[in-house]
Amino acid sequence: MDLRQLTTFHRVAALLSFTRAAAELNYAQSSVTAQVKGLELALGVQLFERLRGGVRLTPAGERLLPYAERILALVDEARENTVGRSGPSGTLTVGTTECLTSYRMPPVLEFFHHRYPELRLALRPATTGETHEALRQGSVDVGLFTEVRSDHEGLCVEVLGREPLVAVASAGHRLARLPEVTTEDLRTVQVLAPEPGACYRTLLEEELTGGRDGSGSPLLEFGTVESIKRGVATGLGVSVLPAVAVADAVESGVLVVLGWRPPFEAHTQIAWRRGRRVSREMRAFIDQTARVVAQDRLSLAS
Most confident of 75-89, 112-126, 198-212: 112-126
Note the pLDDT tens digit of each residue in 239-248: 999 999 999 9
pLDDT of 302: 54
The structural domains of the chain, ordered by start, are: 1-84 (1.10.10.10), 165-257 (3.40.190.10)
Quick one: pLDDT band at residue 211, thresholds 50, 70, 90?
A: low
Note the pLDDT tens digit of each residue in 247-288: 999 999 999 999 999 998 899 999 998 877 788 899 999 999
pLDDT of 85: 58
Percentage of the chain modeled with pLDDT above 90 = 51
Note the pLDDT tens digit of each residue in 81-111: 776 656 788 889 999 998 899 998 999 999 9
pLDDT of 300: 63
Quick one: pLDDT band at residue 54, thresholds 50, 70, 90?
A: confident
Quick one: pLDDT band at residue 32, thresholds 50, 70, 90?
A: very high
pLDDT of 269: 95
SS3 labels along 52-80: CCEEEECHHHHHHHHHHHHHHHHHHHHHH
Note the pLDDT tens digit of each residue in 158-209: 999 889 999 999 999 999 999 999 999 999 999 998 777 788 888 888 888 8
SS3 labels along the chain: CCHHHHHHHHHHHHHCCHHHHHHHHCCCHHHHHHHHHHHHHHHCCCCEEEECCEEEECHHHHHHHHHHHHHHHHHHHHHHHHHCCCCCCEEEEEEECHHHHHHCHHHHHHHHHHHCCCEEEEEEECCHHHHHHHHHHCCCCEEEEEECCCCCCCEEEEEEEECCEEEEEECCCHHHHCCCCCHHHHCCCCEECCCCCCHHHHHHHHHHHCCCCCCCCCEECCCCHHHHHHHHHCCCCEEEEEHHHHHHHHHHCCEEECCCCCCCCCEEEEEEECCCCCCHHHHHHHHHHHHHHHHHHHHHHC
Look over the chain and give the mean of its residue pLDDT values, rounded to a whole number. 88
